[in-house]
Amino acid sequence: MTKNFKITKTGLNAMKKLLITLALALIGLAGLYSQSKAISEDIVEIGIVEKLGETIPMGLTFYNEDNDTITLGELINKPTILSFVYFDCPNLCSPLMSGISEVIEKLDMTLGEDYQVITISFNTEDTPEKAKEKKVNFVSKIGEDSRKYWIYLTGDLDNIQEITSAVGFKYKPQGLDFAHPSAIIMLSPDGKITRYLYGINFLPFDVKMAVIEAQQGIATPTINRILEYCFVYDPNGRTYTLQVTRIVGGIMVFIVAIIFVVLVIAGRKKLSKK
């Protein structure tokens, strides 16, 4: 009986050491990830650096389509879909706004009651008059009573830079145009960033879930982050390949943790019998 106990105790000690080693390794990896994330934010010139869970500065001021000065805090009181465009954009901006218009039309939620949309121009040359003119092109399929809840804003450089920085929207002037990403950002009623959805077309289910999560103030990592962990882009094949090593490594850590818990429980049962 004593011999069996010593073997069990030795096994437990070995498992504890292994778990501590794994924990330290994970802590180290987490540190490296945090450091790389900070570095990547500095080196990313065009794209999105996600700021999930952070709150935007609600005191920033902009001009609405009627040229009224208004703060984000005065506007945001419900789940809000935030997008960034500039009105003379020859590429992504019009398709993005069309994509928003289409998903509003298909969504089984009410614009103005369940959520709202705010589109901010990051071009300081854009004016409220231009915003009003541009808006007409994309609200035609939305009921007249709801159109006022898709709000177009323009502003000065300081406020534009502060809001784009707060949400991690990275753009760069290129001559008379801008290079920029395409995405919508979901905000909670108190301005917390809860979801990023990428592209120019959006599934109604994804947007609905994002609105529900924003209402609850839940910050949810995007599926892109999970896919980035499991897949890597192969420039030669121009396709994404599955990273089996990463997935197996994650599964192995999970299995080791389960084995450790089982051994601890078994050891306690044997000790209680003695």
Print pLDDT tens along the chain (274 aa).
444 444 456 665 666 665 566 555 555 545 545 454 544 566 778 999 999 999 999 999 999 999 999 999 999 999 999 999 999 999 899 999 999 999 999 999 999 999 999 999 999 999 999 999 999 999 998 999 999 999 999 999 999 999 999 999 999 999 889 999 999 999 999 999 999 999 999 999 989 999 999 998 877 666 545 655 665 535 455 444 666 676 677 777 778 888 878 877 776 666 666 6
Of residues 220, 65, 216, the one with CA closest to residue 138:
65
> Which two structure tokens, joined as six digits, stand for 43?
């080196």
The model's pTM is 0.68
State the Cα–Cα distance between residues 23 and 177, nearest whole angstrom: 48
Phi and psi (nearest 5°) for 211?
-65, -45
What pLDDT does residue 92 have? 93
- Phi first, then psi: what are they for 240, rounded to 5°? -100, 135
- The three-state secondary structure class of 71 is strand
d(CA 154, CA 129): 10
Provide the pLDDT for residue 242.
Answer: 63
CA neighbor of 176 nearest in space, from 46, 89, 84? 89
Closest CA to 163 of 151, 246, 171: 171
Give the C-alpha separation, 169 to 166, whole Å.
8
Quick one: pLDDT at residue 48?
93
> What is the structure's pLDDT at 226?
60
Helices 2-43 & 244-273 angle (0-180, nearest 10): 150
The Cα 6–Cα 271 span in angstroms is 11
Going 97 to 102 to 105 to 111, the CA torsion angle's sign is: negative
Listed residue (173, 180, 99) closest to 141, CA to CA: 99
Measure Cα distances from 183 to 15, 63, 180 in Å: 46, 22, 10
Owner of token pair 């490594």: 249
Enclosing H/E stretch for 20: helix 2-43
Q: Where in the chain is the domain with CATH 3.40.30.10?
A: 51-220
108-112: list long-range contacts, CB under 8 Å, 24+ apart: 108/204, 108/208, 109/208, 109/211, 110/146, 111/142, 111/143, 111/146, 111/149, 111/150, 112/145, 112/146, 112/148, 112/149
- Residues sharing a CB contact under 8 Å with residue 55, sequence separation 6 or more, in sequence order: 190, 191, 192, 193
**In terms of DSSP bridges, do strands 116-121 and 80-85 run parallel, antiparallel, or are they unpaired?**
parallel
Pick 51-220's CATH classification: 3.30.70.1380, 3.30.9.10, 2.60.40.10, 3.40.30.10. Answer: 3.40.30.10
